[in-house]
Every structure is written in C-alpha cells, then in structure tokens.
Homo-oligomer: A and B are copies of this chain.
Amino acid sequence: MTGISAKSARTMAKSNAFYAQSGGVTAVINASAAGVIETARANRSRIGRVFAGRNGIIGALTEDLIDTNREPARAIAALMHTPAGAFGSCRYKLEGLDENRAQYERLIDVFRAHDIGYFFYNGGNDSADTCLKVSQIAGMLGYPLTAVHVPKTVDNDLAVTDNCPGFGSVAKYVATSMREAAFDVASMARTSTKVFVLEVMGRHAGWITAAVGLADDAATPVPLVLLFPEIAFDEAKFLRIVDERTNRFGYCCIGVSEGLKNAEGHLMAEAGTTDAFGHAQLGGVGPRIAKLVKDRLDYKYHWAVADYLQRAARHLASKTDLDQSYAVGKAAVEMALAGHNAVMPSIVRVSDKPYRWKIGVAQLADVANKEKMLPRNFITPDGYGITDRARAYLVPLIRGESPPPYRDGLPQYVRLKNVAVTQRLAAKFTI
C-alpha cells in the first residue's frame, strides 16, 4: 500500500472506483449500476477496476468489496432489465462527522487499501448527505477522492433534479394497476364490489399517490379519490365524496398513501387501537380506509397493498425512467473524470411537449438532506385529485416500455457472481 498516499493529482492518475447502492431499491437502480460500470470500462486508461460494496456502504466499512471486473459484459448489460440491487443495498445511515468520525476514517482506510479514487454512491437524500461527508473527510485527511452521488429514489423527493430515477417506473406501475383494477370493479359493481382501495408508497411526499391519478384520463375516466400525505385526513368530507362518486358512477376507486395523516399529524397506519380502524400492528392504511367505507357507507369493498411489488416491477418499467437511470450512472463517471467533485448528475427538464431532458450538474450541498415536496398546485383544490399541471409533469416520466426478456413465461433477471475482492486490511470493522 505504500505509494498510494503519494499520489497528488488523482484526476490525472489511474485509480479504482467504488460503487454502492443505498436505501430502498427500485426497478431500475441496476441500470444506473450498468451506466457506472460500462462507462468506467470505456475509460480504462483512467479508471482501473470498479469495486461494488456488498450490501451498500456496509461493504466498504467491512471491506467486503465485490470485483465487478469478474462479470462479463453481457451480465452488466443484463442489469438494464433486472430490478432491485444487484450488489445488495442497505438501510444504514452514517452518523455525522462529529458523532462518528471513525466510520468515515475507516472508509478512507478501505479506499486507500484498494487504491480507490472514485466514490459513486447511488441513493436518495441520506446518501447524498453521506456522499458529501465522505468527500469532506477525504479532503480533511488529504486523501484524493472524487465523490459523485447517483440519484435514486421511488419517493421522487430529491432536490434540484426535476425527477428521480426509480420514480417513473413506480408511477407507471401504480397508474396501470389502478386502471386495471378500476376496469375490474366497474364490471362487478352492479352486484359486488363498489369501492376499491389501493395503498401505495411514499410516506412523506405524495408523488406516488399523484401518479395513481393518471389512471383516470379523458379516454378512460375513472371515479378516483386520492388521499395524499400532504392533506390531513378529513373523515366526514372523505366519506361524503366517496358516497357521492359511488352513487353517481356506480363505483369508486381510492388511492391512499401509506403516509396518510390525521388532523393531529399522526400517521393513520399507526393510529393505534384507540380509533375506529382496528388493530394498528397489522399495518396498512389501505385496509383501514376500506373498512371505514364499509362501516359508515356499507359498500362492499376490496383493497390491495402493492408494497414491494410496485418498486420491484421491472416487467412494467418506464422506458424514460430506465434511460434516465442509465444516464445518471454514465454521467456520474463522466463528471468524475472531468474533475467534478461532491456533485450529483441531475435531470433537467427542457420542455414538456415534446418532453425533452438533459443531464445537469447539481452541487451535493444543494441536494443533501433536502426534501422536495409535491407542490400544492399539483393537487386539486378539494384535496382529492391531481391537476393538469401534475399531469404535464408526470406523464412524460412514465412514457415508454422496455420489457425484460422472458423465458417460460417469466422475466429472466440476472444474478451476478459477486466475487469478493481479497481483503487487505488487518483491522476488522463491526457494524
């Protein structure tokens, strides 16, 4: 390991790269991995090997690195059509520099041991912050490191970027699923189910809930009621509108965010045993809303909770989302090679019609720990629907299909070999 610290101008010398996936995975995060790895391979004169963290940043801390060079080009290409995190992800938040400086120093030790000069971190708000801190500690320790964050989150709540890779595919899934279920309910409503409830993800911001609204359009109108996390649940008003729509259209479909809150700001899903909804620990605001409709309005109901199905549904991924996910991975490497540090490729919307986008450069300091909420003017004044402005924003993000290859009726997803890199450090690190 001697000599590594002597390197002075990292951007001119050849060194290895580290890539890790962070937080909840998506249908297309592996496309970003493919973007990083293929672009690094295309720049072998500058980037040696790409190591991936097994289970995200934990892999760096424990020196459990995966040698992506052991994967053939076709396996990396197959990441384009494979959902979830091919190297494993984790929910593990590094504390602040002051609280746990040792963790950050450990990361630098591992990077130094493996001649890692590039750090690509693929995640959401928290990981943007981590990426920034890693960049800062490297500077403090005089270790030459280029840190670039690769955006990813189904929650679509990252600042600066117009939208987040991973969101468009969830949006397409929930809108398609609601449309399909609405056709089902409409055909049964005369004698059977009249109210259908679909619970979707997005605990803090209602982007995914808004996407459910796309199920209803001019060609195929659907009586929809959306319950956003941004709008405090008003039971009487909600029941009135559900009753009204069910009477008028014969049925009604409800899209509810897992993050729906009551007027006191408490999550409905955690409202406990003291309210009318039943046992809290079973979770699921969807069934609670359905039961409320049954108890108060006596309509026959069905409910679905898509849970991981919505974010893992690579079979229904948005082509736009897929393209952008690859593009941010590719751009991250290009930015690093161009000398950018502590940045994130952002998606810049050039125009709505036709939809045009390009990659921009966002400063991590402007992204880290910020949360982009759904604008109020994306929600109709009554609080239960989406506006034309929301549609103009959302529709381009779900456009296009890119189905995976199928064999015997099922999508063929790749599993990488994930060969471990030989450890070089004597010191172990325990999570």
Contact = CB atoms under 8 A, between A and B. Distances in A.
A407 B395 CA distance: 10
A267 interface: no
Interface string A13-47: 00000000100110100000000000000000000
A337 B223 CA distance: 42
Given A86-B187, A291-B282, A306 B309 contact: yes
A185 B91 CA distance: 12
A54 to B, nearest CB: 8
Interface string A259-296: 00000000000000000001101111001100100000
A213 to B, nearest CB: 12
Given A172-B410, A313-B180, A90 B192 contact: yes
Interface string A307-326: 11101111110101000000
A327 interface: no
B282 A184 contact: no
Contact of A304 (B21, B288, B308): B308
A191 B302 CA distance: 33
A411 interface: yes
B190 A55 contact: yes
A403 interface: yes
A183 B176 CA distance: 22
A303 interface: yes
Contacts of A315: 176, 180, 316
B187 A309 contact: no
B278 A288 contact: no
A198 B191 CA distance: 28
A401 interface: yes
A88 B193 CA distance: 12
A220 interface: yes
A291 B287 CA distance: 15
B408 A399 contact: yes
A55 B186 CA distance: 10
A187 B55 CA distance: 7
A191 B303 contact: no
Given A181-B308, A219-B407, A220-B413, 6 more contacts: A172-B409, A179-B410, A184-B311, A193-B308, A306-B309, A318-B409
27 contacts: A25-B188, A27-B180, A55-B190, A58-B191, A85-B188, A91-B188, A91-B192, A176-B315, A180-B309, A180-B312, A181-B307, A184-B311, A185-B308, A193-B308, A217-B408, A279-B282, A281-B291, A282-B284, A284-B284, A303-B307, A304-B305, A304-B307, A304-B308, A320-B409, A399-B408, A400-B409, A403-B403
